[in-house]
Amino acid sequence: MKSAATAVVTLTVRSRLEVLLVRNPGTVWTLPGAAAPKGMSIEEAARAALAEQTGVRSPTAEQLYTFDGPGDDRVTIAYLALVPPQRHALTPGGDAVEVSWLGVDDLPGLTPPHGLVVAAGLERLRAKASYSSAPFAMLPERFTLAEVQSVFEHALGAELDPRNFRRDIVSSGAIAAVGRTRASGPGRPAQLFRRGTGEFAVDARERRASRRLSEREEPTDAA
């Protein structure tokens, strides 16, 4: 019978969509995770490994898939966690000698099957961002309209029409003004919001107005 281990795809948005990786002695990067100990649920084991190896404590972790390749000596049970980066100081622990946020489009080689696990986590995030308020988990406690739009765009992998998005998210009650502003350069200070009681999903209007981020690149002339 194969043993079981956990792997946690922890995602956040800073200036890009990033995943949390740890490096054990040597040069191989991997997702946080560990063998599942007795007396602890698989989810508890996943969250405990994430906290011990990286210093990040996620209140929830959503199970993704179970990876069991024919040549694998153990089953990998994958989880997805969404967190705001500013809330967690990264601290390597356990066998980890380094922990870092890395862009999902520029990842190093990962321990098998962790490349597949990251791909599954990104696919789940894209889907959830199109019908739920899941991306809010990657926002700080206070945020601007530009920041919440950026998080949804990175989660979806698509641009959104600013006018439609901002009108719809405010009217949904999913965010509430806190009566304060933040200056971030020249120009008018931006109004600050917090998470409200309503739910929000990117509607068909916004999806039609969006473009895949990859389509932003202009085609190059043939030589």
Q: Give the domain 132-216 fold.
A: Arc Repressor Mutant, subunit A (1.10.10)
Share of the chain above pLDDT 90, in %: 64
Q: Give the domain 3-130 fold.
A: Nucleoside Triphosphate Pyrophosphohydrolase (3.90.79)
**Residue carrying the six token digits 């965010």:** 175
- Mean per-residue pLDDT, 73-78: 89
Q: Give CATH 1.10.10.10 domain extents, the chain.
A: 132-216
- With 0-12 / 13-18 / 19 or more C-beta atoms within 10 angstroms meaning exposed / middle / buried, residue 209 is middle
pLDDT for res 203: 64
Beta carbons within 10 angstroms of residue 14's beta carbon: 15
Token representation of residue 168? 């719809």
**Is a pLDDT exceeding 80 seen at residue 160?**
yes
- Mean per-residue pLDDT, 64-84: 88
Length of the chain: 223
**Do the Cβ atoms of 58 and 10 come closer than 8 Å?**
yes
- With 0-12 / 13-18 / 19 or more C-beta atoms within 10 angstroms meaning exposed / middle / buried, residue 159 is middle
pTM of the model: 0.87
pLDDT for res 4: 87
**Is a pLDDT exceeding 70 seen at residue 207?**
no
- With 0-12 / 13-18 / 19 or more C-beta atoms within 10 angstroms meaning exposed / middle / buried, residue 24 is middle
20 contacts: CB under 8 Å, gap ≥ 6: 8, 10, 11, 12, 31, 32, 50, 54, 56, 90, 99, 100, 101
DSSP E strand boundaries for the chain? 3-13, 17-23, 29-30, 62-67, 74-82, 98-103, 175-182, 190-195
Sign of CA dihedral 159, 131, 138, 121: negative
* Separation between Cα atoms, residue 50 and residue 96, nearest integer Å: 11
The identity of residue 58, as a single letter, is S
Q: Give CATH 3.90.79.10 domain extents, the chain.
A: 3-130
pLDDT for res 10: 97
Task: Name which of 11-25, 68-82, 97-111 the model is least confident about.
Answer: 68-82
**Is a pLDDT exceeding 60 seen at residue 204?**
no
